[in-house]
Structure 1
């Protein structure tokens, strides 16, 4: 055989072996109830998904191609999957999905395209039954008007971690997808979003605005139509204050409000009063130095309050009277004392603590001793890892008594910073 033919044959064989090696391995699982196909990569090579690997099977109900190193999807790759209801092609390297590539799968109700490299998409004309759509972790910059219009049954939409700008999103983009009850814009820039962005939604339950570069509570998150909202997440933004008592007035059914890791310094005492059904409020990691004495008073549904990792120097038991408080987190603040019989006072007002975290504060030793006696008496869980007598956890002066007055705070905080934290205090 001529050398050139041998070389050519070897070259073709090598190409064939590489191609076969890179093809994902697919297995059928759970055959007794449904036809599930799950594919996994066979090596570290990128793969061009073509017709033949998973196509042309009318028995397939669920198809998972997660993390298969797919970089391209050919037009007929999903041909003749008429029974398919669940499609997951997340965690791949897909930068483009050709128009029509997902057509024909009319029964699909779950579509996961997350963590690819998509910059745009226009794929939903043939998806009348889609109710779950995950587009998170892509590079999408723009949402074309009417893109979601065919998705009249859509309930769950994740747009988080893209390159969206709220000011560029058309306010009528959800006009036909009115049944959405979960939506996430987390890790996008949602500043200057139109006030009526979500005004068409009739049953929104969860709205996630974590890490959206917000400097204030956005109007589109508190509209009149959002009385259905149960969970509002606005954590890790740049909100500095909550000084408008009407901010949350429309959210009468809200259960959970997460404002953690903003830079909130002040809160109007009536800010949360309209939230009659609020159960959980998270203000962890802000810049609060104090809270109004009546901030949560008589909010009967409130059971979980997280005020940890702030700069609170004193706090009144009055702030929690009339609640259903069970879990209270005051850890990592600047508190040196609490009201005498703090836990008992809460019990007398209807709040029965089951968990109470107060560690990492510059406690006066006598005041801390009082708290520990109370939590043990009432069998309240607390973080006592450092309370073993081997670690410095509080400070005292020659007058070893609990001084419950703010005029003494600076004395004990300076002692704590210097003796416990080892900080150099300027004099």
Structure 2
């Protein structure tokens, strides 16, 4: 009988409807978690009484509730509150003092609103905040000192805002030294000060995707990162990678340089990355791979260089790695070195996945590599080689011509016979 009464009470709450305010119910799985959905209104000013005044509430979800403003006492008397989600609303400003009073908060999500800045002092009573997400707003200004109270902050997402690199104060994170995850993606971070990250000593993930960067920014070149593991630079306007760019990042595990305009990579650009496991160079303009580009990076197991203009692939470039997944599809080479996979195996690498489709293959050379991947049971894109579509060209030379001077001939044949 007790179970039936409990079920009835939960169902009653689920169907309880208040026209002027969000419909807020306690989660069945987490009784102290309050989940709200919008009521019958176009926009709402969040006032006291909707979610406030509960000593036991630990989590409040007010995502997509059409909230346009937050009153000063909206979160009054919530001493246990640790998680607050105000994402996907239309909040344009948070007044000074509106977040005061609940000091236990560890996670705050303000993403997908219309915020432009934060008043100095907004986070003064948030000493325990660990995770702050303000992505997808309109933030163009961050006042120096606004993050100073956040001494425990570990995760900060500033992506998809209107920040401009040379307007971001280099001392912005001087007191938030424990940041482990930081995203500036989809802001214009050109010309940011070289000292921007000088105080951040525990950074593990840095995201600078689609930041309109024309060069690797100085603030990651001059800084000596001791624990950085993941660096994302995809979708920028980078044209080259130099030997000095990653020399201070020996702890890096993943490096994403995809979707740039990179034409040149200097041969020792990645030599200091002894712990690197994955590198993504797809969707660039590379034509040449230096002979020693990835050599002797012992942990390197994932390499993606698809969708480039690579005309020649030196097997030496991969010696001394543990490459398991190699993607060379959508390039411009017509052949690979004889016994390519065997040569890699002999140098310590064991391919498990190898994609080489959509290249201007000589048919005899393609046959050689397919026989080899089958022999070693390497996964490849079999759908591209089902015999239903032309994938290679034949000339009057029956055997594989592994000479660079023949490549142009076969490339022209491929363009004329297959692409047309």
TM range (shorter): over 0.9
The Cα RMSD (Å) is 1.3
- Offset at 1:418? 2.0
- Offset at 1:222? 3.1
For residue 5 of structure 1, what is the aligned residue in structure 2?
none
For residue 281 of structure 1, what is the aligned residue in structure 2?
279
Conservation of the 8 A alpha-carbon contact between 1:265 and 1:288: yes
Conservation of the 8 A alpha-carbon contact between 2:221 and 2:244: no
Q: Is 1:108 the equivalent of 2:70?
A: no
- Offset at 1:42? 3.2
Pick closer, same or farther for the CA change 1:294–1:355 going to 2, 3 Å: same
For residue 167 of structure 1, what is the aligned residue in structure 2?
166
- Offset at 1:20? 4.4
Q: Is 1:76 the equivalent of 2:73?
A: yes
For residue 391 of structure 1, what is the aligned residue in structure 2?
389
For residue 258 of structure 1, what is the aligned residue in structure 2?
256
Conservation of the 8 A alpha-carbon contact between 1:259 and 1:283: yes
- Offset at 1:30? 4.1
Runs of at least 5 residues in structure 2 that lack an aligned partner in the other structure? 1-16
For residue 47 of structure 2, what is the aligned residue in structure 1?
50
Which range moves more in the overlay, 43-52 or 396-405?
43-52
SS in 1 for 2:206: strand
Q: Is 1:25 the equivalent of 2:23?
A: yes
Conservation of the 8 A alpha-carbon contact between 1:92 and 1:115: yes
SS in 1 for 2:382: coil
Which range moves more in the overlay, 309-318 or 412-421?
412-421
Conservation of the 8 A alpha-carbon contact between 2:19 and 2:41: no
2:348 to 334, 339, 350: 350
Conservation of the 8 A alpha-carbon contact between 1:174 and 1:200: yes
Conservation of the 8 A alpha-carbon contact between 1:22 and 1:41: no
Conservation of the 8 A alpha-carbon contact between 2:173 and 2:197: yes
Query: C-alpha distance in 1, partners of 2:156/2:24?
Result: 28
Query: C-alpha distance in 2, partners of 1:259/1:141?
Result: 26
1:35 to 18, 32, 36: 32
Q: Is 1:233 the equivalent of 2:232?
A: yes
- Offset at 1:43? 4.3
Conservation of the 8 A alpha-carbon contact between 1:107 and 1:129: yes
Aligned residues: 402
1:71-124, Cα deviation, whole Å (9 max, x unpaired) = 111111111111100000001111011111111110000000001000111320
For residue 118 of structure 1, what is the aligned residue in structure 2?
115
Which range moves more in the overlay, 22-31 or 265-274?
22-31
1:419 to 404, 407, 417: 417
- Offset at 1:272? 0.6
1:86 to 67, 79, 83: 83
**Structure-2-length-normalised TM-score:** 0.93
1:367 to 351, 365, 368: 365
Query: C-alpha distance in 2, partners of 1:30/1:156?
Result: 29
2:401 to 400, 403, 412: 403
- Offset at 1:399? 2.1
Query: C-alpha distance in 2, partners of 1:30/1:405?
Result: 68
Equivalence map 1:258-337=2 (5 Å): 258-337=256-335
1:205-262, Cα deviation, whole Å (9 max, x unpaired) = 000000111111112123444121001111111111113x222111010111110011
- Offset at 1:398? 2.6
1:380-407, Cα deviation, whole Å (9 max, x unpaired) = 1111212111111111113232111111
Conservation of the 8 A alpha-carbon contact between 1:202 and 1:225: no
Query: C-alpha distance in 2, partners of 1:323/1:228?
Result: 22
Query: C-alpha distance in 2, partners of 1:341/1:107?
Result: 62
Conservation of the 8 A alpha-carbon contact between 1:201 and 1:225: no
For residue 59 of structure 1, what is the aligned residue in structure 2?
56
Query: C-alpha distance in 1, partners of 2:51/2:20?
Result: 15
- Offset at 1:29? 1.0
Query: C-alpha distance in 2, partners of 1:50/1:290?
Result: 62
Pick closer, same or farther for the CA change 1:44–1:330 going to 2, 3 Å: farther
Query: C-alpha distance in 2, partners of 1:54/1:392?
Result: 64
- Offset at 1:313? 0.7
Query: C-alpha distance in 1, partners of 2:232/2:155?
Result: 16
Runs of at least 5 residues in structure 1 that lack an aligned partner in the other structure? 1-18, 423-427
Conservation of the 8 A alpha-carbon contact between 1:132 and 1:157: yes
Equivalence map 1:151-162=2 (5 Å): 151-162=150-161
